[in-house]
Copies of this chain bind each other. A is one copy, B any other.
Amino acid sequence: MAAAKDAPYNLVYWPGIPGRGEHIRLALEEAGAKYTDTAFSEGGVDEVLAFVQGNVPDDGINPPVLAPPILKHADVVISQTPNILQYLGSHLGLVPDADKDRNGLYRVNALALTALDGLSNEPHDCHHPIASGLYYEDQKPESKRRSEDYVKNRLPKFLTYFERVLQSKSSGDGPWLYGGRLTYADLVLFQCLDGLKFMFPKAVAKLEREGKHSKVFALHQAVAERPRIAAYLESSRRQKYSNGIYRYYEELDIEP
């Protein structure tokens, strides 16, 4: 469908935080795709709120969505970070070539889902272990306890897993997770590690010093050095971490 091919990509996401929307932005930026972003458009937050509050009219094609990030592209309106990444991955060439490796899509998707589970959703719950609808200040002791477990047990477990992936034959040559080429799973792992460096600087620095996850850290570096990503990271489109998924609280910056 030519119309869909030429249609711009529209990201609907909260302004003010990189958040889960950042995974979508990195895919669009790496591909050099044209896109709009409600984080930077006038009235953008109203569009996010319309979706969140269920006030978007039924278009007869797309099911309602519950929460951002949301991608609008031609007549497609879809939510869920790993789902949007699959869609963009296929459209923007950030997945294995389905003609040569028909099941590569599933292998890459598993890697992205695992990174999002352990290195994005779990960190979020470190500062919101009791309820996402309560303030951090209402769950501080529980956050401390959860963060202690996270940096001691969960974070090393997930980094060790991805190190193993990078050492496996299926990763191919070069710094990438699968098939010797950059996929959206690499962008996800980059963003997760980048956020964790901000949120738990002591724990991540210690893991980096220990040298057991050198391929994971090398992947982070390799993504940051991609020409389009490097330009993006320097631009004003790259928002600073604040009160999103990855937050810095001194009392949670635990040295394991």
Contact = CB atoms under 8 A, between A and B. Distances in A.
Contacts of A61: 169-170
B165 A64 contact: yes
A35 interface: no
Given A58-B169, A58-B170, A63-B165, 5 more contacts: A63-B168, A64-B164, A86-B109, A130-B145, A131-B146
Given A82-B113, A168-B58, A168-B64, A129 B106 contact: no
Given A58-B169, A76-B103, A169-B60, A65 B110 contact: yes
18 contacts: A58-B168, A62-B107, A63-B171, A63-B177, A64-B164, A65-B110, A78-B106, A80-B110, A83-B106, A83-B110, A125-B125, A130-B142, A130-B149, A131-B145, A131-B146, A132-B154, A133-B153, A142-B145
A114 B60 contact: no
Nearest to A109: B83
A249 interface: no
A11 interface: no
A62 to B, nearest CB: 6
A217 B94 CA distance: 39
A153 B168 CA distance: 43
Interface string A47-83: 0000000100011111111100000000110111011
A142 B113 CA distance: 27
Interface in A192-210: none
Contacts of A145: 130-131, 142
A40 interface: no
A248 interface: no
Highest count of chain B CB atoms <10 Å: which of A58, A131, A149 = A131
A3 interface: no
Interface string A91-129: 000000000000100110111011000100100010001
A63 B146 contact: no
A248 B165 CA distance: 37
Contacts of A171: 63
A21 to B, nearest CB: 15
Interface string A164-204: 11001111000001100000000000000000000000000
Contacts of A170: 58-63
Contacts of A146: 129-131
Contacts of A133: 149, 153-154
